[in-house]
């Protein structure tokens, strides 16, 4: 199963009020394990940078002026995400901007049917709690100390870790250690004889056929050591006992 964790940064809150994408970050998950494949681009929004947005992500007009506009990387972006499910925190916001940019570039919009909104997952799991990305990182003990400002790739990396916790896909350990139990002092084991011997599960014909087969295995066949057990009551002697 292939999933893409996506995050974006923008110049504002509404793509249909002239605001644009300035950064896209994507992390590929294969069977909910990061594959190491990422997609990350800074984008020229072809407009000014409002002070409110700059205070969030720190991406200035001067820094972005030589970056490509979204239309130039649209094909590459679509090729990376393919038909994978898209894991996004507050998906309506990011998919709104992505589809607005795809529309401007003359590309087909991303279907909302393929979205996994981690904000909705978190609200179901922690109703009544604050479920911002920072809050979820704190709740799950995920180190977000590098997140002094929002950044699409860093936030996608953090969200990938949060997502694995939300869907309980992360395994703290593989469980390969051998469990041991310390026992203090000797342990007494009571063994009682079976009052009635068990009924044999095989017939005389099947025992004879087995003996005939063992005879074909040679004089040193280990099965010969157990042939005499056929004549013993099943409850009185077990294979290998003396």
The DSSP line for 87-103 is EETTHHHHHHHHHHHHH
Report the C-alpha gap between 174 and 14 in whole angstroms: 45
Tokens at 220, concatenated: 């040193």
SS3 assignment, position 142? coil
Segment (H or E) for 191: none
Q: Cα angle vertex 29, ends 112, 102, to 5°?
A: 35
Segment (H or E) for 177: none
| Bridging pattern class, strands 21-30 and 2-10 | antiparallel
Q: Is 150 a catalytic residue?
A: yes
* Of 19, 57, 150, 210, catalytic: 150
Q: How many Å separate Cα 226 from the centre of its chain?
A: 51
Catalytic residues: 150
């Amino acid at each position: 199963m292939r999933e893409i964790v996506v995050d974006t940064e923008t110049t504002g809150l509404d793509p249909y009020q002239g605001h644009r994408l300035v950064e896209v970050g994507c992390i590929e998950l294969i069977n909910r394990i990061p594959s190491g494949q990422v997609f990350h681009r800074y984008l020229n929004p072809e407009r000014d940078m409002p002070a409110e947005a700059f205070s969030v992500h720190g991406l200035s007009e001067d820094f972005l002026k030589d970056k490509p506009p979204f239309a130039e990387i649209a094909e590459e972006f679509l090729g990376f995400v393919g038909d994978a499910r898209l894991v996004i925190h507050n998906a309506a916001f990011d998919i709104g901007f992505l589809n607005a940019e795809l529309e401007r570039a003359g590309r087909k919009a991303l279907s909302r049917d393929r979205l996994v909104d981690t904000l909705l997952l978190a609200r179901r799991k922690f109703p009544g709690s604050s479920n911002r990305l920072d809050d979820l990182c704190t709740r799950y003990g995920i180190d977000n100390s590098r997140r002094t400002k929002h950044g699409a790739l860093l936030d996608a990396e953090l969200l990938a870790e949060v997502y694995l916790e939300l869907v309980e896909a992360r395994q703290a350990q593989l469980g390969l250690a051998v469990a041991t139990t310390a026992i203090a002092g000797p342990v007494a084991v009571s063994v009682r004889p079976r009052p009635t011997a068990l009924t044999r599960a095989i017939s005389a014909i099947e025992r004879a056929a087995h003996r005939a087969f063992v005879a074909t295995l040679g004089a040193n066949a280990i099965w010969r050591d157990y042939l005499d057990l056929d004549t013993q009551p099943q409850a009185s002697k077990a294979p290998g006992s003396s």
